[in-house]
Amino acid sequence: MYKYRLVTPGPVAVSERVRRAMAEELIHHRAPGFQPVLRDVREKLKQLFQTRQEVLLLASSGTGAMEACVSNLLSQGERAVVVRAGKFGERWAELCEAYGVRPVCVDVEWGRAVRPEEVQAAFEAAPDARALLVQASETSTGVFHPVRELAEVVHQKPGRMIVVDGISALGVHDLPMDTWGLDALLSGSQKSLGLPPGLAFVALSQIAQAALKESTQPRYYFDLRKELEGQPRGQTAYTPAVSLIVGLREALGVILDEGLPAVFARYERMAGIMRAAVEALGLTLFAPESPSFACTALRVPVGIDGGELVRRLRDVYGVHVGGGQGKVAGKILRIGHMGDVDGFDLLAVVAALEMALIDLGYAARVGEGMRTMTRLLRELSSEKE
């Protein structure tokens, strides 16, 4: 009755076009035919990152790129301010601990964005802290942190670095790396790029590239010095994930053909429409003040089991949304807007949500979510005509 619709905040649905590109016969990464692919991908990644720096490619999930930033930019015994506002903020702190870096945690209530003053206060309490580690979009809560303002706080003291996990934000929110002075910006393939998981990216400012040489941490596979050295020869340090890189070229082409400003505006509108629709259904947003445009997080109504709701949506209606993770497990739903999903796929999500809620005994405002959504989608189309 229902197709499988993948609308978690990642991994996301991969378009037919990208899957076909990846299904072509494999070429060797040292073959002349692969060099133009890699050059093209590198050039386009720079555009996506809005940077003049090289964007390094890693064969790993996004966590590998987070680890690379910690192990390459910080040394044992050093301190780093960590914004801990969700599961991925916790991951920064865990990574610091694994590498003997002392995290100075700014603990933020889940669902709220950090305030620049909170980070400022943390740096005042830890004036020797070398870096701020933060998510742009905290995927576990659906919050977007004020990256631009945080960069300003960090750069009040020269030499301090802001390291930004852009895993679900890059290609969704405007994150101009060079203009905002981000020292490290990282991302993964299975979010806005609409690829399968298995590729990660990191770009480093001049300051971060200098820090690279100072770190005394053990590292090999994620040694970014080697990746930077290989760049002029168009080589990755180890065997790259060739098929994913071939898909990446296709995916980047789609994004850059649409144009970054149009992409960002589309996400902003789609996220706004989704928030309006779920509120019209009678639901409460989990991160109303500073929502990420990559995914919409909403509270599971009191009396409903969130795990049951996620399962019902997925197993009865084919709509695979994200549930809550960590301390909000069972309490929130997260609807992703990235990857190969269109306005009617997202309408299906709202319809399924209404149906599943009624199944579970919740008095949803029948039809209101869909009505709001189609009205706003129609307005958007009219504007474009």
Residues in touch with a copy of itself (CB under 8 A): 4, 6, 8, 10-14, 19-20, 22-33, 59-64, 67, 70-71, 94-95, 98-100, 188, 190, 196-199, 217-223, 238-244, 314-315, 320
CB 37 within 8 A of CB 24: no
Nearer CB in complex with a copy of itself: 151/200: 200
Q: How far is the CB of 27 from a copy of itself (least distance, A)?
A: 7
Q: How far is the CB of 88 from a copy of itself (least distance, A)?
A: 11
Q: How far is the CB of 361 from a copy of itself (least distance, A)?
A: 24
Any residues with CB less than 8 A from the CB of 353 and at least 6 apart, and which?
A: 278, 281, 283, 313, 319, 333, 364, 369
Any residues with CB less than 8 A from the CB of 189 and at least 6 apart, and which?
A: 195, 196, 197, 198, 199, 200, 201, 244, 248
- Tell me, rounded to whole angstroms, the distance of Cα 242 from its chain centroid: 22
Nearer CB in complex with a copy of itself: 138/223: 223
Nearer CB in complex with a copy of itself: 223/354: 223
Nearer CB in complex with a copy of itself: 323/369: 323
Any residues with CB less than 8 A from the CB of 10 and at least 6 apart, and which?
A: 139, 167, 168, 188, 190, 191, 197, 336, 338, 339
CA angle 366, 372, 373 (to 5 degrees): 105
Q: How far is the CB of 300 from a copy of itself (least distance, A)?
A: 17
Q: What spatial distance separates the first Cα and last Cα of the chain, rounded to whole Å?
A: 34
Q: How far is the CB of 198 from a copy of itself (least distance, A)?
A: 4
Nearer CB in complex with a copy of itself: 55/74: 74
Nearer CB in complex with a copy of itself: 105/151: 105
Q: How far apart are CA 258 and CA 255, in angstroms?
A: 5
Nearer CB in complex with a copy of itself: 177/251: 251
Q: How far is the CB of 216 from a copy of itself (least distance, A)?
A: 10
Q: How far is the CB of 239 from a copy of itself (least distance, A)?
A: 4
Q: How far is the CB of 40 from a copy of itself (least distance, A)?
A: 19
Q: How far is the CB of 46 from a copy of itself (least distance, A)?
A: 23
Nearer CB in complex with a copy of itself: 226/365: 226
Task: Report the side by side order of strands in the sheet with 102-107.
Answer: 55-58, 200-204, 184-188, 161-165, 131-135, 79-84, 102-107
Nearer CB in complex with a copy of itself: 146/230: 230
Q: How far apart are CA 267 and CA 264, in angstroms?
A: 5
Q: How far apart are CA 62 and CA 221, in angstroms?
A: 14
